[in-house]
Structure 1
Amino acid sequence: MRAKTPSFIAEFPLRTTAADEVALSKRLAAARQIYNASLGEALRRLALMRQSKDWQHACRMPKTVMDEQSGNRIANKERSSRFRKTQERFGFTRDSIQKFAEACRDACSIGDHLGSHDTQTASLRAFQAV
């Protein structure tokens, strides 16, 4: 069971004009489209990466190995290195998904409604979800 922290929810009505509502609606729709595109691309790359022989070989490697000096078990650096190289090879990194999102934004009218920071934030959240 999670520990409860004191919290509350407050709702405040926005006083907007019709033009504000249209602009806000367009920005939210653009952010949703960037998020969904980033999520789809990240899931696609993840599936391809997991199908690769390098990834499957790394999965079969032991997670820990015996340290010869101390006799303790330590993380298998070779395994971690293989995973990292495979992620980079398939472009499954935070930065590559952000670049993909920026390319999507710049390829259509979404760039008229969404800035660089908003695009990066939406793509980062999609990547973290995967």
Structure 2
Amino acid sequence: MSNFILTLKLNTQPFEESILNKRLNIGRQMYNACLNELNKRYRALQQSKEYKKACKMTKSKERNKLFNSLNKKYGLTEYSLHDFVKQMQHHFKKNIDSFTAQKIATRCFKAFQKLIKSTSKNTER
């Protein structure tokens, strides 16, 4: 199966380019703020006694439930990140709609999850 990519230059006016650049920059800032918030929450989770206890447990359903409850407690869920980004979106509501803000948060959360899972796989070896 072949894949092709067609790249076309947008025929834009300077004011449209300015609007696009502004919105893309706001999206980048929101993404970075979400990553920063997730890192803060994850570091707080790692410092907790419950997390350290859960890490020492053998793999089981009970351990997974404990990790899931800790993730909820420390706000390491996709929907808690949606709540975080909602506050920022209200500030930029003229440029970024709520759906786009949620998509930015979702992408950020998935990237963070991928990082955490790859890190945990590397430490288990």
Q: Same fold (TM over 0.5)?
A: yes
C-alpha distance in 2, partners of 1:57/1:7? Answer: 48
| Unaligned segments of structure 2, at least 5 residues | 113-125
- Deviation, 1:6, is 3.1
**Counterpart in 2 of 1:111?**
93
Give the 4+ runs in structure 1 shifted more than 4 A.
none
Map residues 37-56 of structure 1 onto 2, 5 A cutoff.
37-56=33-52
- How many residues are paired up? 112
C-alpha distance in 1, partners of 2:71/2:12? Answer: 45
- Backbone CA RMSD of aligned residues: 1.3
Query: Which one has a larger percent helix, Structure 1 or Structure 2?
Result: 2
| Unaligned segments of structure 1, at least 5 residues | 64-75
**Counterpart in 1 of 2:82?**
98
Query: Which one has a larger percent strand, Structure 1 or Structure 2?
Result: 1
C-alpha distance in 2, partners of 1:104/1:115? Answer: 11
Structure with greater contact order relative to length (CA < 8 Å, sep ≥ 6): 1
Tell me, yes or no, if structure 1 residue 77 matches structure 2 residue 73: no
Map residues 10-89 of structure 1 onto 2, 5 A cutoff.
10-63=6-59, 76-89=60-73
C-alpha distance in 1, partners of 2:50/2:4? Answer: 48
Question: SS of the counterpart of 1:123?
Answer: helix
- Deviation, 1:20, is 1.4
- Deviation, 1:127, is 1.1
Deviations 1:64-118, CA, capped at 9 Å, x for gaps: xxxxxxxxxxxx1210111011111111100001110111222x3x222000111
